Structure 1
Amino acid sequence: MEPISEPRRLSDRRTAIDLLEPEVREVVRKRGFASLSDAQEQAIPLLLENRNLVLIAPTGTGKTESAMLPVFSRLLATPGQGFKAIYVTPLRSLNRDILARMEWWCAELGLSVGVRHGDTPQNERRRQALSPPDLLITTPETLQALFMGSRLKKHLANVRFVIIDEVHELAGSKRGAQLSVALERLAAHAGDFQRIGLSATVGNPDEIGRFLCGARPFSLVEVPVAAHLDISVRFAGEDFSGQTRSVEKCLDRPGSTLVFVNTRVTAELLGHELYARGDVEVHHGSLSKDVRVDAEERFRRGAVRTLISTSSMELGIDIGHIEHVLQFGSPREVSRLVQRVGRAGHQLDTISRGVVLATGFDDLLESMVITRRAQANECENVLPPMNAADVMANQVAAIAVEYGEIEISRIQALIERSGCFSDSEGLLEKVSAQMAEHRLIRRDGSRIIRTGRARRYLTENLSMIHDERKVEVFDIVSRRTVGTLDESFVIGWVHTGAVFITKGQLWRVLDMEGGRISVEPATKARGEIPSWEGEQIPVPFAVADEVGRLRRTREFSGYAAGERSLRYAERFIGRMDAGRFPVPSDRLITLENTAEGVVANVCGGHKANEALARALSILLSARFGTTVGIEVGAYRILFRLPAGVRALEVQESLSGLDPAHIEGVLKLALKRTALFKWKLVQVAKKFGAIDADADYERISIHRLIDLFDGTVIAEEAYRELFSDYMDVREAAEILAAVQDGRVGIAVGVMSPLGSEGLSSSRDTIAPLTVDQAVIGTLMRRLEKEEVILFCMHCRKWKSRTVVERVPDRPVCPVCNARLIAAVKPWDEPMIAAAKKQKKTEEERAAEVRMLRSANIVLSSGKKAVIALAGRGVGPEVASRILATLSEGEAFYREILKAERNYVRTHRYW
């Protein structure tokens, strides 16, 4: 059924309040509401008419109260025991925030409220089972668990209202698909209840309504976001120090500022650079809950004026008044920018002001396009996953546990009422057959019967979020953690000696131990080099295509960028024109030869370019019998190729690839990849085909593929890859445009635009890769290393210092001797041993080691202290380093060589 979409506006602004129960009106006045927002004026009358509703409005327009004021009004008149209203949020942190607000309202109105999630204490769970609150705040996963308890299940019979907060955040994921079935399972106990979805701005609100309500009618209230936004774009500079200064200028104005970045690495680096200001905190998902809550509280109190955050602050967590929002680098998506800038103001009828600081040419044009689209209300569509087979398997198992045994036809009817499975004919038969094979259910004719495995499976698979460990990457040169890799990437690609790319830099794996990967910067590598950009936000095709059009037309009027930014853009394109380089655009693909292979400049966005890159790589690999490495960004693909394969050969493959065949080619391309293996494992776990704690790292990819080839598990793995990781439809459209001449191809040498590499699609901070930079990092690190100097002559003087403060020729101030040992801090117990008159055999060995250290310091001075400061460098190794008589960079290379050897071999010592 089509949605009812009739924005309602009441002539008297007080009328919406007057429709509420007198007790609620009184509490509204007590709360200090002078008037209602547009969202509240339109939503409250519809909700009081018991309509299902999707409310789409900017952050800070009172969406929560829009839903809850009429729900409170009706709860006061709803008799009986059990949960009467359920409020579902996607994050536990939102649970905490919503609970604090709802407790005030419920206390004033005499209603009870509780929160339930994975960390809820057992005594609170027991209290809710015995005396359920009127309003339960929970997460999608904990809602699933309510069906498993016999007493809790009875309390669901009285549910009359379900509010889904941040429904856009759930609708596009398998979490949302699972929730949509859970709502139908809830309706089987409670009958039809009122469904209320609160959403940020999306491009397809009707689809969100169908996701929430299935075939039921619903009303839609949409408050345009554009009128509430004031966004400008500024060019911040191409190097990180200049970009940091641009951020500081923006922070110097009065008021609080929320700085959004795209990755945790950027958040940490920017936070480190700005920490000395004393008013800056960092907030992201990798930090512990206590640290995040503390940062939120300090910002709310005004103890810090600036919070640097990733997407952890996008949703509506209340952190008090925010004066400005700063987006560091392109936000990649329109909806993301709208959501982030919407945090500013956060009061009714307030304009939200934000600045995007662009960090390069691609980044600048992309930011201009996204800002224009935001102000024109052109947000991306949110596409619910349709007919996800592993979600169906999960819910079939849940239903079997809930009912014990049940007719397949009843399950089919229940699941098909969900908006995500309304057209799933034949899928249940395949899914249930696969589940029976793995003893997750038992089939008896037309009935499904639960098994002993099913309940254990459900406790491990309440969520459709795949568990994935983060593996720390530790650079032995800087002695710093440089990032994390997802376990999927490590399993598929990483081994000792492997070279991979992350954050724009090559790294060589030296050691894998204790959940940490030790690496060193690599300058050269051969063959296929896997690339990891774990937190990359994909740029949609529509944005990349408009960036291409902007490059072609150069008509910058109508875009919110300052004069300095536009001058930079014009100057950059001028360099292309001066060198007679064709400018890649929405109508031109350029192929540029480079030492590593070929850069294909394609304005296709991440997912379309991913599909093109993988399809072309298998064609090139099959044709030339060589491994082809790929790196993919929103505007270019780098093909790593052997010397004999260049742009003309890539052009032939690109022009010859039939758009109708791309999906088949991609299935072949993906079948033996680490990505497909990992996705296959994830889906198989959700089918109960692989235990959640199975050591699947030891399962060979060939065995996995042979086991699941042609099954519904493999079909779902491909479906998810083709929808979440790549855009086959847009890739096919690009190929069709090439073949009919709408998009041309030009072949040439590396241009300034091509040489930007893939940095614009990655984090903005790419470490230097040149050898001098590696040596420079080592030198700076060794200067800061702590060292203990001890006189082996008088054995009375000891000094703790850092290497850079050690004099060229250390002298004992007590006895004037130069027999000074240099000891690492963790070897300090050796000093106590050296002072003893009577020594054990072990202590005598320590004394000999210290004398060796003192002798090389005596002969080589501070140079010996520097060598001894290296990790794993003792007196014997330091002597060998000094014996090379190396100076300058060559000396530090010898230290680095010794450290590498230590990392590789220390486990065998």
Structure 2
Amino acid sequence: MLDAEIRKLLDKRSFDELSDTQEEAIPPIMQGHHTLCIAPTGTGKTESAMLPVFHKLLRDENRGRGFRALYITPLRSLNRDILSRLKWWCGELGLTVGVRHGDTTQAERARQSRNPPDLLITTPETVQALFMGKNLREHLKSVRYVVIDEIHELAGSKRGVQLSVALERIVEQAGEFQRIALSATVGNPEDVARFLCGERPYHLVNIPSAPRLSIDVKYAGGEFSSQAKFVSKLIDRNESVLIFVNTRTTAEALGQQLFDRGDVEVHHGSLSREVRIEAEEKFKNRKIKALICTSSMELGLDIGHIGHVLQFGSPREVSRLLQRVGRAGHRLDTVSRGTILATSFDDLVESLVIAKKATSNECEDVVIPENAADVIANQVSAMALEYGEIPEERIVKILGKTAVFNGFEPLLDRVLSQLEYHRMIRRDAGTVIRTGRCRKYMYSNLSMIHDEKKVKIFDILTRRTVGTLDESFVISWIHTGAVFVTKGQLWQVLAIEDGMVKVEPAVKMRGELPSWEGEQIPVPYAVAQESGSIRRKRKLGKYDADKVSENFILQFLDGMDHARSPVASDRLMTIEHYDEGVVMNLCGGHKANEALGRLISILLSARFGTTVGVEIGAYRILLRLPREIGAVDVLETINSIDPDHIRGLLEIALKRTAIFRWKVVQIAKKFGAIDADADYEKFSMHKLIDLFEGTAIQEEAFRELFSDYMDVACAELIVKRLVAGDIDIQIAPLSALGREGLTSSRDMIPPPATDKAVINAVKRRIENDNIILFCMNCRKWKSKTVVSRVPDDDIVCPVCGARLIAALKPYEEHMIDTVRRKDKSAEDRAVEVKMLRNANIVLSSGKKAVRAFAARGVGPDTASRIIGTFANGDQFYLEILKAERNYIKTHRFWN
């Protein structure tokens, strides 16, 4: 079927035979069918799509007139990888290829605008930019083929919704074109195919992953160092190992443990592009044996042969495990081999369930967002910019051809009204007209990924930046006096100013972890339920557990006192006392437990008029309660819940939460209601929430929270099962299962710093502070030094012998020029008086005064007060610290 030139190149590349994927996918694509190809990594999906496209490009008469094919990937790194793979083919076939994304140089963009390549490799966001340039828009009229790689990564997000609309906008420019998508295993392939094609007919190629998988589950409890030794031994037994972890923190910690081996590198999104590429190249060229990575390596980036995949800790989802283990082997005739290293009871049971589901090809569904209001706002603005003005009925037609908008006309009208209110568009007789704000908005909102600034944490004791916080956390949680945890230490907020959070170490206070709990990989309801059934049945026959794992699970369960503490399972919820509240053991998965946990905490708060803290896991809900609220009250609250009212109650309750406030801000930015670079320090969050009450912005915030963070449908199902008696509830003492949930975040936090340590930090910093000494007698001598080098006895001017020496901070040096002037204004004379007071205090108190003047915000009045307390030793430095705190908290209100 393929062109003779392509067949020659297949021989040149030693293609002895096609894979099952290629055998099944190439014919329908050659016949012009819209095609979704679902197949394991390493089975030649890219060639399945591109060989037919190359065949058609070679026979197309419109060469050189525009972009004839688009290849869209979710990541820039995949663009780079695909370019290196397709460049050879295009070069041999006489076709042109280019890549365009955020990192593409201005010169290359100009070249593409003048001489468009036949094949353009790009990202969903850059597709949006193609509509904005006159020449680029013209080039889109030539599009005949669009290939979307890793479509499962996009279909479940608003990036995918935006791309779905973009495809219909290309149809408006180019007419109908052939749609081809490549995907890893998904549970609902028909839905993903409809996401690609809308109502158009399609062909589905679905090659199961299971026959090519071999997955072992091993248990390694104990210390982290012993778990790292297990990893090290596995590296020794294999030629090349890809080690997946679930968080960047774990990646760095494991990398540190294995650093001395010399053949292990770390790869994750927080590292620079150069560092990541260097690690990839080292692995590909066999200079290292192992690469520790997060989801940064899940997609099909070519890093050479991978002998084995190790998943450190439960992968949480079947789809994630299939993606990760599928990286191993990477040859058509190879079985992909992987090991899950479980580190706790929950982790081990969950890993066995996920491994069994993976080898049975039971993958989670991709949940495709429907009627996302902020995407409508974004794409209406984009179409208004593209056409200048566009009839509303044409917008309805374009959106209606996608599978992601259904019955959306009333919502569209509300979105248009909101956009008009914020002067993004004008409406006139059924036509949408762009405004001046529209172009500025689109340039900063090409992507539906929410921008997240990093805010520096500045320690006033050491005067150093100690880390960063996500903007979401700052907006929602941080206020003067708040306590939070980062870098394993507690900090108290003194002020938010100058684009940073100013803090000091907190003593004996409880803090919040600086991230959303909801952003951990959520364990699905089905996985949590099956894990619960293992607890209940105590049988592991179908789970292929080795003897060590089986013995650990059975001994853990047998070791519980079943008379006092029954084992929570898929059919039993237990409510257990602990010293700060209760633990509800419930096998509901993260999202269902998130919905129920928030609901129960809100109902308890309303009933007792007190704050209730809540922490969520896949198998338990931890409630921090005052002493007057106990397990019986929690049980009564659960029994009072009507499943039909859960959604409504959560909407009321969520309005008061930090996560809802932040979600409203994110979505308001996508509506153009708040500028993308708006300063969070100036937000009045409560006024904003009131402003958007009852709008499409608020409605979208709820829709996103209920789909991305919570599973209200599963929460309703759990409550219905409780009402029907399918799930029992019992109150019990704290069990081993309940205790598993109490060692999460707090074990990571060391004991708070003592007062002595704080004082020592202030002392060290003051002694190392820069200071300027200036003679107020001769006004000639000036010396820049550090406090520790200032004499302990008399401080004397070497020029005139006087002891009238002012001590200035470096940023006060300009005052010296002021007092040296001959013609002084009234303002200059006030500065002179201040410096004379400074010098007199140093004259009377010596180096003690110099130490006081070195502190932030301490002038003559404050220095006099500190010295006037007659405090010495540690107490003196505590007085300095009090003064600095007071300055940081109040100076912005000074005249």
Q: TM-score w.r.t. structure 1 length?
A: 0.83
1:67 corresponds to: 49
The answer to whether the aligner puts 1:20 opposite 2:5 as a matched pair is no
Contact 1:140 1:179 in 2 (8 A): yes
* Structure 1 position 521, deviation (Å): 6.6
Partner of residue 481 from structure 2, selected from 475, 490, 497: 497
* Structure 1 position 700, deviation (Å): 2.4
Specify the code of the residue in structure 1 equivalent to 2:574.
T
1:100-115 → structure 2 map (5 Å cutoff): 100-115=84-99
The answer to whether the aligner puts 1:767 opposite 2:751 as a matched pair is no
Contact 1:502 1:532 in 2 (8 A): no
Helix, strand or coil: the match of 2:567?
coil
Instruction: Tell me the distance in 2 between the aligned counterparts of 1:364 and 1:478.
Output: 43
State the Cα deviation string for residues 463-521 of structure 1 (Å, max 9, x = none).
00110123456899999998754211221112343234679986544665663565647
1:277-316 → structure 2 map (5 Å cutoff): 277-316=261-300
1:129 corresponds to: 113
Helix, strand or coil: the match of 2:338?
strand
Instruction: Tell me the distance in 1 between the aligned counterparts of 2:871 and 2:584.
Output: 46
Partner of residue 500 from structure 2, selected from 515, 523, 527: 515
State the Cα deviation string for residues 394-453 of structure 1 (Å, max 9, x = none).
111111111111211111011110111143232221111211111111111111111111
* Structure 1 position 696, deviation (Å): 4.2
Partner of residue 345 from structure 1, selected from 329, 334, 347: 329
Instruction: Tell me the distance in 2 between the aligned counterparts of 1:881 and 1:275.
Output: 49
* Structure 1 position 846, deviation (Å): 5.0
State the Cα deviation string for residues 620-676 of structure 1 (Å, max 9, x = none).
111001111111111111111111001110111111100000011001111122211
* Structure 1 position 580, deviation (Å): 3.4
Q: Which moved more, 1:687-696 or 1:675-684?
A: 687-696
Specify the code of the residue in structure 2 equivalent to 1:456.
K
Partner of residue 34 from structure 2, selected from 52, 56, 66: 52
State the Cα deviation string for residues 366-406 of structure 1 (Å, max 9, x = none).
11111111111111100111000110111111111111112
What is the number of residues matched between the two proteins?
815
Partner of residue 368 from structure 1, selected from 338, 352, 355: 352
Instruction: Tell me the distance in 1 between the aligned counterparts of 2:716 and 2:74.
Output: 34
Contact 1:499 1:529 in 2 (8 A): no
Instruction: Tell me the distance in 2 between the aligned counterparts of 1:199 and 1:895.
Output: 66
Instruction: Tell me the distance in 2 between the aligned counterparts of 1:111 and 1:377.
Output: 39
Contact 2:309 2:338 in 1 (8 A): yes
Specify the code of the residue in structure 2 equivalent to 1:117.
H
The answer to whether the aligner puts 1:180 opposite 2:164 as a matched pair is yes
1:578-597 → structure 2 map (5 Å cutoff): 580-597=564-581
Contact 2:420 2:427 in 1 (8 A): yes
Helix, strand or coil: the match of 2:99?
strand
Residue 479 and residue 533 in structure 1: after superposition, are their counterparts in 2 closer, same or farther (change >3 A)? farther
1:637 corresponds to: 621
Residue 228 and residue 56 in structure 1: after superposition, are their counterparts in 2 closer, same or farther (change >3 A)? same
The answer to whether the aligner puts 1:119 opposite 2:135 as a matched pair is no
The answer to whether the aligner puts 1:667 opposite 2:656 as a matched pair is no
Partner of residue 752 from structure 1, selected from 722, 730, 736: 736
The answer to whether the aligner puts 1:418 opposite 2:399 as a matched pair is no
1:734 corresponds to: 718
1:37 corresponds to: 19
Partner of residue 319 from structure 1, selected from 290, 303, 309: 303
* Structure 1 position 776, deviation (Å): 15
Instruction: Tell me the distance in 2 between the aligned counterparts of 1:443 and 1:740.
Output: 53
Q: Which moved more, 1:76-85 or 1:697-706?
A: 697-706
Contact 1:633 1:758 in 2 (8 A): no
Specify the code of the residue in structure 2 equivalent to 1:499.
V
2:387 corresponds to: 403
State the Cα deviation string for residues 99-128 of structure 1 (Å, max 9, x = none).
111111100111000011112111111111
Contact 2:132 2:386 in 1 (8 A): yes
Residue 503 and residue 665 in structure 1: after superposition, are their counterparts in 2 closer, same or farther (change >3 A)? farther
The answer to whether the aligner puts 1:436 opposite 2:436 as a matched pair is no
Residue 828 and residue 466 in structure 1: after superposition, are their counterparts in 2 closer, same or farther (change >3 A)? closer
Contact 1:389 1:427 in 2 (8 A): yes
Residue 94 and residue 825 in structure 1: after superposition, are their counterparts in 2 closer, same or farther (change >3 A)? farther
Instruction: Tell me the distance in 2 between the aligned counterparts of 1:777 and 1:26.
Output: 77
Q: TM-score w.r.t. structure 2 length?
A: 0.85
Contact 2:392 2:431 in 1 (8 A): yes
Helix, strand or coil: the match of 1:426?
helix
1:95 corresponds to: 79
Residue 847 and residue 502 in structure 1: after superposition, are their counterparts in 2 closer, same or farther (change >3 A)? closer
* Structure 1 position 181, deviation (Å): 0.3
Instruction: Tell me the distance in 1 between the aligned counterparts of 2:438 and 2:701.
Output: 22
Residue 535 and residue 667 in structure 1: after superposition, are their counterparts in 2 closer, same or farther (change >3 A)? closer
* Structure 2: stretches of 5+ with no match in the other structure: 773-779, 795-850, 857-865
Instruction: Tell me the distance in 2 between the aligned counterparts of 1:645 and 1:626.
Output: 10
Residue 25 and residue 423 in structure 1: after superposition, are their counterparts in 2 closer, same or farther (change >3 A)? farther
1:795 corresponds to: none
Instruction: Tell me the distance in 2 between the aligned counterparts of 1:776 and 1:72.
Output: 71
1:203-282 → structure 2 map (5 Å cutoff): 203-282=187-266
Helix, strand or coil: the match of 1:397?
helix
2:445 corresponds to: 461
Specify the code of the residue in structure 1 equivalent to 2:58.
L
Residue 776 and residue 315 in structure 1: after superposition, are their counterparts in 2 closer, same or farther (change >3 A)? farther
Instruction: Tell me the distance in 2 between the aligned counterparts of 1:655 and 1:500.
Output: 34
* Structure 1 position 570, deviation (Å): 1.4
State the Cα deviation string for residues 569-603 of structure 1 (Å, max 9, x = none).
11211222367311111111111111211111111
State the Cα deviation string for residues 729-755 of structure 1 (Å, max 9, x = none).
000111111111111111122111111
State the Cα deviation string for residues 199-242 of structure 1 (Å, max 9, x = none).
01110000100000000011111110011111111112132122
1:410-809 → structure 2 map (5 Å cutoff): 410-471=394-455, 485-500=469-484, 508-509=492-493, 515=500, 518=503, 520=505, 523-525=508-510, 532-533=516-517, 535-577=519-561, 580-757=564-741, 766-770=747-751
2:834 corresponds to: none
